Copies of this chain bind each other. A is one copy, B any other.
Amino acid sequence: MAEKSCYDYRIEPQDVDFTLRATIPALGSAILNTAGIDAHGKGFGVDALNAGNHTWVLSRMALEFDRLPGQYTDYTIATWINEYGRVLSTRNFTLTDAAGSEFGRAVTQWAMIDLASRSAVDLSWVGDAHAEAIVDIPSPTEKPRKVRAVMPTLRAEHRVVYSDIDFNRHVNTLRYIEMMLDLLPLELLTEQAPVRFDVHFLRECRYGATLTIGCESKERGAAFEICDEQGTAAVRASIEWK
């Protein structure tokens, strides 16, 4: 049975906003990069999968931050996979500062797709082939919550450009997160209260598409829906400050 893997980071100047504390997208980026590095190192990264014409696709994500650490804070991201279902594998994360205090955690759920058909692949064989990579430790918080239909009170349009897309020619996860959070007032984004952010990725958006980002304002947060030209939801999310 494997153990958690740990990766060291520092909050760099490009990770902070004008309050000099890390942004949610910057920490989200470090979390997702950790997933990539860990999978790569263990032999089931995107590069290894591509050889077999498969790739990982992030399906759902829950991020929780008790506080957003300041510039130059050293921290460690621990990550472990504790579940391979037929369709989704679950990868977990905790974020801990140098004093050993946990300030954040994440649960992500990933599907494997076939690059030709872009449809989901049965993951059972991965669970068997990489059983030694499974760590028998529960997820550090509740799994990503479902986000129901959103009734936008605010809308923005965005045409997908070169700097939005990833190696797959689809909008990269961080850009979706930025598009949604950018609709919130600065006062909420710089709140010094614990925050939880749930995101569901329903459909991939491609280069050149014009997306509509809808935001439904709530008392201490918001719900979001990103739709393609046909009005089909591609991403739904909700954020809540305590």
Q: Is A234 an interface residue (CB 8 A)?
A: no
Partner among B14, B36, B162 whose Cβ is within 8 Å of the Cβ of A186: B162
Chain B residues near A36 (CB-CB < 8 A) = 12-14
Q: Is A163 an interface residue (CB 8 A)?
A: yes
**Count of chain A residues near B, Cβ 8 A:** 35
Q: Is A71 an interface residue (CB 8 A)?
A: yes
Stretch from A88-96, A115-123, A176-184 contacting the other chain? A176-184
Q: Is A199 an interface residue (CB 8 A)?
A: no
Binary contact track A14-29/B, C-beta < 8 Å → 1, others 0: 1011101001010001
Known interface pairs A186-B207, A207-B186; A162-B12 also in contact (CB < 8 Å): no
Residue ID in chain B nearest A160 by CB atoms: B182
* Copies of this chain: 2
Q: Is A128 an interface residue (CB 8 A)?
A: no
Beta-carbon contact of B13 and A167 below 8 Å: yes
Beta-carbon contact of A18 and B166 below 8 Å: yes
Binary contact track A36-63/B, C-beta < 8 Å → 1, others 0: 1100000000110000000000000000
Beta-carbon contact of B163 and A18 below 8 Å: no
Q: Is A189 an interface residue (CB 8 A)?
A: yes
Residue ID in chain B nearest A168 by CB atoms: B18
Chain B residues near A18 (CB-CB < 8 A) = 165-169
Q: Is A161 an interface residue (CB 8 A)?
A: yes
Residue among A14, A178, A181 with the highest chain B CB neighbour number at 10 A: A14
Q: Is A33 an interface residue (CB 8 A)?
A: yes
Residue among A12, A23, A167 with the highest chain B CB neighbour number at 10 A: A167
A-B contact pairs, 12 of them (CB 8 A): A12-B33, A14-B174, A17-B165, A18-B166, A18-B167, A18-B168, A23-B163, A25-B163, A161-B178, A162-B178, A163-B178, A163-B182
Known contacts A12-B37, A162-B182, A162-B186; 8 additional CB pairs below 8 A are: A12-B36, A14-B33, A14-B166, A14-B172, A14-B174, A18-B165, A18-B167, A161-B178
